[in-house]
């Protein structure tokens, strides 16, 4: 990624910088979305499980967790049995029990993975405005995942049936919000971001983001998920980045993570929803 430690500058080594930015973005995307990377090949493998049992793999386990989450969000914890989960996943019940001891074990593993993803947030300012933009993309990515995962029905069931997990979930979300606030204040003091009410910025983010990526909104406005994720992030950057650095906002390298993120969200949370489309 291009070095902006001596901002404001406009570098001449654009090609080399863009290549480096792409490599760094690809690495970050791979790290941040590995849990959500469910391929068609893996789904096809799961469907062949009955005919040809395969060894346990972490990749397959993560895929099952993602898909089971969508069932819980749709039917509730009590609305679907292990038998029905196995049938929906196209695997045998014995195979399902190789990965998970019970429905409670599934919920706990889903939450542990999600909380671990939130806690992996790495925010620095050692590379100047580059670090700020990288930090914003990390925060935004986690906001997208939270908005997709925190379905009302799922959270209600989590609170009712597993209050300890619900408390841990909310604590993790609160910790990320607090880290964002502290990071933003530091960016304001350093002159990178506008002096806005961080509480209002956070509230706008919390309220608007779930609506912007909802199936109903996307269908009504004929937006692809990629478009919604990219353009809301662009709007957010223009809103918070200081005037001095506005020329840096629209650079393509800042949005490299958006398409892979949209694909992961579609595959994980909306894989059966035809209203949610992605760019081909």
pTM over 0.85: no
Are 137 and 254 a contacting pair, CB within 8 Å? yes
Are 218 and 277 a contacting pair, CB within 8 Å? yes
pLDDT of residue 187: 95
Write the pLDDT tens digit of every residue in 97-148: 888 998 889 899 888 988 888 888 889 999 999 999 999 999 999 999 888 8
Q: What is the mean pLDDT of the chain?
A: 80
pLDDT of residue 12: 28
Are 114 and 165 a contacting pair, CB within 8 Å? no
Q: List Cβ neighbours of 248 (8 Å cut-off, separation of 6 or more).
A: 4, 129, 133, 241, 254
Side-chain-facing half-sphere of 175: CA atoms under 13 Å: 14
Specify which of 61-65, 92-96, 124-128, 221-225 reaches the highest per-range mean pLDDT: 221-225
- List the one residue out of 277, 265, 146 whose CA is nearest residue 222: 277
Bridge partners of 193?
241
Q: Is the pLDDT of residue 73 over 80?
A: no
What sections of the chain are H helices per DSSP? 14-33, 40-47, 58-75, 82-89, 93-99, 103-119, 129-149, 152-161, 163-189, 198-212, 215-221, 225-240, 246-249, 258-269
Write the pLDDT tens digit of every residue in 9-39: 223 233 334 344 444 554 554 444 444 443 3
CA distance 118 to 188: 23
Q: Is the pLDDT of residue 230 over 50?
A: yes
Q: Name the more confident of 113 and 186.
A: 186
* Mean pLDDT across 261-268: 87
Q: Is the pLDDT of residue 41 over 50?
A: no
């Amino acid at each position: 990624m291009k070095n902006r430690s001596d901002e404001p500058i406009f570098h001449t080594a654009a090609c080399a910088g863009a290549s480096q930015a792409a490599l760094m973005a690809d690495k970050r995307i791979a790290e941040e979305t590995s849990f959500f990377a469910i391929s068609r090949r893996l789904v096809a493998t799961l469907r062949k499980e009955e005919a040809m049992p395969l060894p346990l793999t972490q990749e397959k386990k993560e895929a099952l967790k993602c898909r089971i989450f969508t069932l819980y969000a749709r039917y509730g914890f009590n609305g679907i049995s292990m038998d029905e989960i196995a049938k929906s996943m196209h695997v045998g019940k014995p195979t399902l029990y190789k990965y998970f001891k019970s429905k409670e074990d599934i919920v706990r593993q889903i939450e542990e993975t999600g909380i671990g993803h939130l806690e992996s947030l790495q925010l620095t300012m050692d590379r100047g405005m580059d670090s700020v933009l990288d930090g914003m993309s990390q925060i935004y990515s986690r906001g997208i995942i939270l908005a997709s995962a925190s379905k009302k029905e799922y959270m209600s069931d989590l609170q009712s049936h597993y209050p300890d997990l619900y408390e841990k979930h909310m604590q993790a979300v609160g910790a990320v919000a607090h880290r964002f606030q502290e990071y933003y204040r530091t960016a304001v003091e350093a002159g990178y971001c506008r002096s806005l009410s961080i509480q209002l910025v956070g509230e706008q983010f919390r309220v608007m983001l779930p609506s912007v990526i909802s199936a109903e909104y996307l269908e009504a406005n004929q937006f692809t998920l990629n478009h919604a994720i990219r353009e809301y992030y662009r709007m957010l950057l223009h809103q918070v980045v200081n005037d001095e650095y506005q020329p840096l906002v629209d650079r393509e390298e800042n949005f490299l993570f958006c398409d892979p993120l949209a694909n992961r969200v579609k595959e994980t949370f909306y894989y059966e929803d035809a209203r949610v489309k992605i760019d081909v």
